[in-house]
Structure 1
Amino acid sequence: MGDFWVFGYGSLIWRPGFAHVETQRARLHGYRRSLCVYSFVHRGTRERPGLVLGLDRGGSCVGLAFRVPGDLRDEVIAYLRDRELVTSVYLERTLKVRLDNGAMVEAVAYIVDRDHEQYAGGLDAAHAASVVRGAVGQSGNNEDYVLSTLKHLEALGIRDHWLEEVAGRMTPA
């Protein structure tokens, strides 16, 4: 089997954790980056959930596409499933993304399951910030996750106005 692509829109951008031979900016149509997943493990607990990013329906999302050698398919997919499917809030899909060079490729992506108990829906920025503020899980502080994502998006020249608004509201008044 040949090489394949993985689409990253959040922490995969700044911590992919798997071998790849090429990285390109890419746009996924039909889904948007959103803090729409209550985190019970990585950035919060069941008692004090945090919020993490998901790909939710609507709009489009600019992120990174990672090209993975075909001989690493089983290893990388197993890693991604262990990382992304901890509580089954994401659905693994193969979706078309447009690379910066104009090519359309199919990429493995993880979209939010709107029927899952962890789906937070479309929270406004103030509510999202109040959930993020002070939440901590196995992978660390929820605020650090949001700020790190924004820092890495900014370094790539990717603006996410809603996420920027959430971050601006995370500091208590």
Structure 2
Amino acid sequence: MDLRKLFYDDSDSDSEHSVADNLKGIGNLEINNNGNDENITCWIFGYGSLCWNPGFTYTKCVTGYIRGFVRRFWQGSISHRGTPDKPGRVATLCAEKEGITWGCAYKITGRTALEYLKQRECTIGGYVTLDSKFFPRVATCDTEFRGEAFPVLVYIATDQNSLWVGDLPIQSIAEQISESSGASGHNVEYVIRLADFMREEIPNETDDHLFDLEHRIIQILIKRNTPIHSLMGIPPERIRRDSHANIERPTTFEFASRVPDKKLRCLNV
């Protein structure tokens, strides 16, 4: 199924095919609704502003990652974090065989959240959708998957959309972000809050592109004598994630495979 047909369909809610009809066949959806769109259930993967500002109602939030992609600030924003005259930059995913992108998966139910995401990510943001496997960081009492991978819906911008700005030297990207602002706030806030999410939720992992960009932006602001807090807007509400629940050990070897080797020394006692 071409997922783009769902999120670029401009027909109204009274059309012959419901959201449930369009979504049938997507692996991460539970459709046992007898034609009722309000019972649609699926998992959405967030790797940008969704990590700290989902903007929709959800029932569960789990931290983890998907494989085969890296996060890059190569998508333009002329509404949320920029303007047509001075576009901002927001995150998208670029395919990379050994890549891993950390974020969080939200479990949502009903048509409302999907319609909101269609407007926010696709109509305004220029994103399309695809399916991917999500690997939870830990097994928790908040998810039925017990640490095993499960399918998620992912929003991704490609170089085929009109808002694509692509790669530039990292310093040029930092300069552009430091000068851009839109309806949702300053572009700097987007980067800082995403970096904060990584530090707070996955302190042992890194994202070189994100953290290098954050460092350069901070240096630019220091030279301009611009206080960072003046660009940060209203602090978002704290999101209850798996890390704030009673954590159990993973039931797979997924995380053991990523633990760095340790050398042990024998001591004579």
Instruction: Note the 1:10-159 alignment, pairs <5 A.
Output: 10-58=48-96, 59-69=99-109, 72=110, 74-87=111-124, 89-100=126-137, 101=139, 102-157=147-202, 158-159=205-206
TM-score (normalised: structure 1): 0.90
**RMSD between aligned residues:** 1.7
Aligned counterparts of 1:18 and 1:48: Cα–Cα separation in 2: 28
Give yes or no for contact 1:36–1:119 (8 Å, CA) kept in 2: yes
Q: Which has the higher contact order (CA 8 A, sep 6+)?
A: 1
- Name the CA distance, whole Å, in 2 between partners of 1:62 and 1:152: 10
Among 214, 217, 225, the residue aligned to 1:167:
214
Unaligned runs of 5+ in 2: 1-30, 33-40, 140-146, 224-269
SS at match of 1:85: helix
* Secondary structure of 2:80 counterpart: coil
Moved over 6 A (4+): none
Distance change >3 Å, CA 88–CA 143, structure 1 → 2: closer
Cα deviation for residue 88 of structure 1 reads: 5.3
Deviation at 1:4, TM superposition (A): 1.5
Residue type of the alignment partner of 1:4: C
TM-score, structure 2 as length reference: 0.59
Q: How many residues align?
A: 170
The Cα of 1:27 is off from its aligned counterpart by: 1.4
More strand as a share of residues: 1
Larger Rg computed on CA atoms: 2
**Any conservation in 2 of the 1:36–1:56 contact (CA below 8 Å)?**
no
Q: Is the 8 A contact 2:129 2:156 kept in 1?
A: yes
